[in-house]
Amino acid sequence: MIILISILLLGSFLHYLWKAEAALSKPWTPDNSSIDFSQRPLSPPANETFLSSPGYKLPLRTKGRDIVDQNGERFKLSSINWYGASDELFIPGGLDVQHRDVIASMIRSLGFNSVRMPYSDEMVMFNPEVPAHLLAANRDLVGKRALDVFEATVTALTDAGLAVIVNNHITTATWCCGADPCDAGWANDYLPGGLCRVRQTEAQWVEHWETVMVRFVDNPLVIGADLRNEVRGLWGTMPWEKWAAAAERAGNALLRMNPDWLIVVGGTESGNDLTGVRRRPVELDVENKVVYSAHVYSWSGWGSMGGRYSKRTYSSFVKAMRKNWGYLVEEKLAPVWIGEFGAPDRPGIGDANYWQNLLRYLKEIDADFGYWAINPRKPKDNERESYSLVEDDWVTPVLDYRMKDMTELMRQ
Q: What is the pLDDT of residues 251-269, one digit of tens each?
A: 999 999 999 999 999 999 8
- Give yes or no for residue 23 having a pLDDT over 80: no
Q: How far apart are CA 138 and CA 251, in angstroms?
A: 33
pLDDT tens column, 96-121: 999 999 999 999 999 999 999 999 99
- Report pLDDT for 306: 76
Q: Kindly report the average pLDDT of the chain as a whole number.
A: 94
Which has the minimum average pLDDT: 93-107, 116-130, 226-240, 340-354? Answer: 226-240
CB neighbour list of residue 312: distance below 8 Å, 6 or more residues apart? 301, 306, 320, 353, 354, 357
Q: What does the alpha-carbon distance between residue 234 and residue 301 come to, in Å, rounded to a whole number?
A: 18
pLDDT confidence of residue 107: 98
Q: What is the rounded average pLDDT of the residues 134-144?
A: 98
b/e map 59-89, b = 16+ CB within 10 Å: bbbbeebbbbbeeeeebbbbbbbbbbbbbbb
pLDDT for 235 equals 66
- Provide the whole-model pTM: 0.95
- Rounded Cα distance between 258 and 225, Å, is 11
Give the tens place of pLDDT for each residue, 72-85.
Answer: 999 999 999 999 99
* pLDDT value of position 193: 86
* Distance separating alpha carbons of residues 366 and 330, to the nearest angstrom: 10
